[in-house]
Structure 1
Amino acid sequence: MASTSKVPVSPHTNLNFSPTQLILTAARIWLSSLNLADTFKHSLELSSPLTSFSQVQEGIYLFNHDIDPYSGGSFRHSPLLLSLFATILPNSKRLASILWALNDLIAAYAMVQIFRARQNIGRSPRDTLVAALYILNPYILLPSLALSTSSIENTLILLSIMFACRKKTSASIFVLAFLGHLSLSSIVMVLPVLLLLIGNPLSSLASPKAIQSNLKRLAPLFGEFGLYFGFLTLASTLICGNWAWVSQTWGATLTLPDLTPTTGLWWYFFTEMFDHFRPFFLMVFNARHSVHLIIYVVPICLKFQYDPLYASFLLLGVLSLFKSYTTLSDPGLFLSMIAVFPEIHSYLRYPIVTALLHLHASLLMPLFDHLWLNQGTGNANFFYASTLVFACANGAALVDCLWAGLRIAIGPPAIDGYAIEQE
């Protein structure tokens, strides 16, 4: 599995920002001041029933009036998030917009630190590019402007990976446990992050080796994750006073009680399903969702045991493709992280085709959404067809990155059968 060798990674304490980075930061904060949440809050592509900020506000109102927010079957956010917004974090849309902007800046900072750890450097001219590809990525920016909590989940994923690169074990595992409470599907990231903790973030794609690791080191890490996860579960139960939140939050990812259209592949199937067939196909889809996500974890971690950071990256792509409730920010994180791995760029086979597929889908989804729900000249088939194109685009990006990660070990990329000479 992952390497146990200690690789010196430069300390990432340099907080000197370039003028371009300051302009980027100011631009993102300025966008938050426009208060665009009301404009985007009903967009099906930007938020889902599990990530909508409007539902957060509804849950806060019920919670503050001593009404169980999980009794009505509409609030599906984690009790941890509910308690934070009800006590510490601002819940007005204007202040929340600033909070989301800061959240994006933290995520961009974490991605830059991951890039630095990957290259084993303290600072790089590419830092601004890496940060810009996250902050200005439309798949990241628009859900953030809509105040989708998926943006917070992205930040937690990046922070957990960043702490793992720095070998800050407890911080990485605690953030990962917190993320698992917000989004149960993110549990698939546990194994690659733990392997990164006992390995190193440096690129080994060009020299893959079968690494014999002391797997006993994973046991205490899994134990620590279980301890944190259990503590957060107990805290969530104490906040709610009962266990009703489990079925309304974690259970929602498996039982699909809300059929609000999303960019995912589940909602349309169950919308068209006859009620008496629903239990059977729900069992089939649950097996597909749970097992299909988990089934990729061990093979990818085994194949890229010499590069656990790249394994984490690929599993983010799997997660963005097969989650039951997805938004644009899920594949947005995966696509932005391609900048962290410059060594694979020349090995991507069809980047233009993948980019065109994403462009095609990103234009079709809002168009068919408008035709269906606003103009009334379309139907659900229109929007679902665009989400199928979107799924193909995400799958093409994932397969291309997987192929590039494997191809880089064989040698220089080839054009028309001839290898490219590389200095």
Structure 2
Amino acid sequence: MARIGWIFVAGFLARFCLFLTNFHKIFQKRVEISTPLNSWLRVQEGLFLKGKQISPYAGDTYHETPFTLVLAECLGGLPEMGVILVFILSDILTAIILALAVEEARSFYLMRSQKESKYVAEAKQLEIKDDENYGQYVIMSYLLNPFCVMNCVGQTTTVFGNLTSAVAIYSMLKGFRWTCGLSLALAAYQSLYPVSMIFPAVICIYDKEKQKQNDKCWIFSVAKTVLAFLVPLVGFFFISRNISNDWDFLDRTYGFILNVRDLKPNIGLFWYFFTEMFEHFHLLFICTFQINAFIYVIPLTIRFFDEPSLLIYTFHVLLAIFKSYPSIGDVGFYLALLPMWKHLFPFMQQKFLVGCFFIATAVLAPIQWYLWIYSGSANANFYFGVTIAFGTAQIFLLTDVLLSFLKREYYLKHGMSKEIDGKPAGLHLR
């Protein structure tokens, strides 16, 4: 407990001290941190326009939902230090909820499958121990993660999006249908892409109900979960219509996300391609790029139907890679969940490579940006090369986790001394 306390103190002080320095203003303008969809400066501009009786969607600055304006109005009555504390405490609360969610996933799914499955005797050393505390590693990974720290100090609305997503994950793993539906609807309402999380939500809630009632009909369970998601989502749309007095916000938010109208550089893959794209190919490639965020959902759900905790992690990684305006806040969120797969680390083969990629791209991104924008001694290809490497590292990490999961399941069922083509295929753990 003392160690956890020091982690909270360190996470709080790291954020608070950086807020008091010039890094606060620098991070607010960094393209890796702040995007057209999460910039607090743009939110303040939208709030200013609304105060002047001008629609915040009239220009090309504000592209977030009307709810964000309401939040900004509420925070506008606080002193600057109060707003800073709201951002920091939201980040700390996110870490706590994620830790609780990971502990629930470990105790219900990982330990349950371990107890219900029949594994060979020699694979006992691969089983997860009951006294493993994954939660403290998650808290450490979130509060001390440089990506999460910079995301918070940069005052992006991703801080609140991460909090909403954490509540949705915890609720679905606990089987709280209406809390899950409400929080997931709010997350999808804010950034559209989390709509794919309805698949693991349906599975998790049904599993919880099946545990309590063995004869539970899955059709009714799925229908109620989908309704618990859709009803609040539709309600949010109508409330937003009343706030903004028209339906223009739909095109200015979701239309903006899907059509990628702002090609300002970020850590994603969209901006460079559509800067170079011929206009008559625009629609084709928009559809091709956007479908990547959703096309893997159904096949992965079918393959890992019994492991919704793995689906939750996988979908968050895919969204961070393939969404149109990603930021390091999205990456830091799923990296904080990585300790949930601590038992897979001995099977992962790309840890060193992925770690080097993450460090190298984190260092090179601001350097290449400076050379391109300020020095004039580089061009867009240099910066895009860094974003390509960063995206590749994320894909390597995800595939490594998935393959390690399958490899561990194989060893648990067939043993570690099996031979393939006369050669040993076992794993030697240190």
Q: Is the 8 A contact 1:255 1:282 kept in 2?
A: no
Letter in 2 for 1:376: G
Cross-structure match for 1:116: 103
TM-score (norm 2): 0.85
Q: Which has the higher helix share?
A: 2
Cross-structure match for 1:12: none
1:302 is displaced (CA, Å) by 1.2
CA distance in 2, matches of 1:339, 1:77: 32
Letter in 2 for 1:265: L
CA distance in 2, matches of 1:91, 1:250: 30
Aligned residue for 1:342, secondary structure, equals helix
Aligned residue for 1:407, secondary structure, equals helix
Q: Runs of 5+ in structure 2 lacking a partner?
A: 109-129, 210-215, 418-422
1:391 is displaced (CA, Å) by 0.9
How has the CA–CA distance of structure 1 residues 288 and 90 changed in structure 2, closer, same or farther, with 3 Å as cutoff?
farther
Q: Is the 8 A contact 1:60 1:82 kept in 2?
A: yes
Cross-structure match for 1:253: 257
CA distance in 2, matches of 1:296, 1:286: 17
Aligned residue for 1:73, secondary structure, equals coil
Moved more, 236-245 or 338-347: 338-347
Q: Is the 8 A contact 1:37 1:93 kept in 2?
A: no
CA distance in 2, matches of 1:264, 1:22: 31
Cross-structure match for 2:307: 307
CA distance in 2, matches of 1:335, 1:18: 19
Deviation string 1:344-367 (CA, Å, 9 cap, x unpaired) is: 222212111111111111111111
Aligned residue for 2:200, secondary structure, equals helix
1:291 is displaced (CA, Å) by 2.4
Instruction: Please say if 1:287 is aligned against 2:294.
Output: no
Map 1:350-365 to 2 at 5 A: 350-365=350-365
How has the CA–CA distance of structure 1 residues 232 and 344 changed in structure 2, closer, same or farther, with 3 Å as cutoff?
same
**Percent identity at matched positions?**
23
1:233 is displaced (CA, Å) by 0.3
Deviation string 1:130-183 (CA, Å, 9 cap, x unpaired) is: 201111111211121111112221221111011112222111110110111110
CA distance in 2, matches of 1:351, 1:26: 29
CA distance in 1, matches of 2:186, 2:139: 24
1:123 is displaced (CA, Å) by 8.9
1:216 is displaced (CA, Å) by 3.6
**Which of 166, 172, 181 pairs up with 1:173?**
181
Cross-structure match for 1:197: 205
Q: Is the 8 A contact 1:293 1:322 kept in 2?
A: yes
CA distance in 2, matches of 1:22, 1:335: 18
Letter in 2 for 1:59: G
Pick the structure with greater CA Rg: 2
CA distance in 2, matches of 1:89, 1:261: 29
CA distance in 2, matches of 1:196, 1:88: 35
Q: Is the 8 A contact 1:114 1:162 kept in 2?
A: yes
Instruction: Please say if 1:331 is aligned against 2:331.
Output: yes
Q: Is the 8 A contact 2:270 2:289 kept in 1?
A: no
Aligned residue for 2:263, secondary structure, equals coil
Q: Is the 8 A contact 1:104 1:135 kept in 2?
A: yes
Aligned residue for 1:325, secondary structure, equals coil
Q: Is the 8 A contact 2:134 2:340 kept in 1?
A: no
1:128 is displaced (CA, Å) by 2.9
Q: Runs of 5+ in structure 1 lacking a partner?
A: 1-14, 202-211
Q: Is the 8 A contact 2:167 2:183 kept in 1?
A: yes
Deviation string 1:307-365 (CA, Å, 9 cap, x unpaired) is: 11111111111111101111112222222211122222222121111111111111111
CA distance in 1, matches of 2:160, 2:33: 13
CA distance in 1, matches of 2:138, 2:365: 27
Aligned residues: 395
Cross-structure match for 1:74: 61
CA distance in 2, matches of 1:267, 1:318: 17
CA RMSD of aligned residues (A): 2.6
1:369 is displaced (CA, Å) by 0.8
Cross-structure match for 1:87: 74
Cross-structure match for 2:9: 23
CA distance in 2, matches of 1:90, 1:263: 33
Moved more, 335-344 or 303-312: 335-344
